[in-house]
Amino acid sequence: MSDVRVLVVSGSSRQGSFNQQLASVAAGLAAQAGAAVTTVDLRSLELPIYDEDLHLKGTPEGAHRLVRLFAGHDALLLATPEYNGFPTPLLINALDWASTVQAVDGQPSGSTAFGGTVAGLLSASPGAFGGLRSLLATRQFLQMNLGMLVVPEQFGLVRADQAFDAAGALVDAGSVAGVSRVVHAVLRTARALKNAP
């Protein structure tokens, strides 16, 4: 029986994205451990670049959809690339849009939906540092600004261009263990919170 519901997101929707592959490994491990997993493709939300003038004309449906997804899940597993030390515009833009959504017709606001979500962070880069700087910036963004509970465990996959086999599995057992540590910390924390009196 599935207990906690986990949303899986990649900060890149690029065809062949290493982060999408890493997110998919995390999704598999979470499902194996009994979680109900939903994967969302940020590109499919079709969100324009945030602009307050545009916002005055209305909030795109994709932002509401993302808020509903967060409201319906206990936890987030996120794999994002590092672009110049930061998470990608695709990710930040989607979360910015969702953060502006107000409560309406029984649907919570973006900030209520984000609040208390247990999050685990992953990153993949062809470089030697595995996107470490983006992990730190993402942690600050999700925790300090969006009110999520980011677990201390995190994993940056180095040399991501050599890390997967043709089926998208991680070839190195140490890397699988790194992802698994994050996934299990998220599930442990989300379960403890869910069962708290």
Ligand X SMILES: Cc1cc2nc3c(=O)[nH]c(=O)nc-3n(C[C@H](O)[C@H](O)[C@H](O)COP(=O)(O)O)c2cc1C
Q: Which stretch binds ligand X (CB under 6 A): 37-45, 91-99, 112-120, 122-130?
A: 122-130
Sheet holding 149-157, edge to edge: 36-40, 5-10, 75-79, 118-124, 149-157
User: Would you say 17 or 138 has its CB closer to ligand X?
Assistant: 17
Q: Which stretch binds ligand X (CB under 6 A): 13-21, 40-48, 95-103, 170-178?
A: 13-21
Residues 139 to 178: which contact ligand X by CB under 6 A?
none
Among 4, 18, 59, 96, binds ligand X (CB under 6 A): 18
8 contacts ligand X (rule: CB under 6 A): no
Extract the tokens encoding 17: 């994205």
Taken as a whole, the chain contains a residue count of 197
User: Would you say 94 or 190 has its CB closer to ligand X?
Assistant: 94
Q: How many CA atoms lie within 13 A of 44 on its CB side?
A: 7
CA distance 31 to 111: 27
Give how far Cα 190 sits from Cα of 53, 75, 103, 134, 159, Å.
38, 7, 24, 24, 31
Q: Which stretch binds ligand X (CB under 6 A): 10-18, 163-171, 173-181, 184-192?
A: 10-18
List of residues contacting ligand X (CB under 6 A):
12, 14, 17-19, 81-85, 124-127, 129, 131
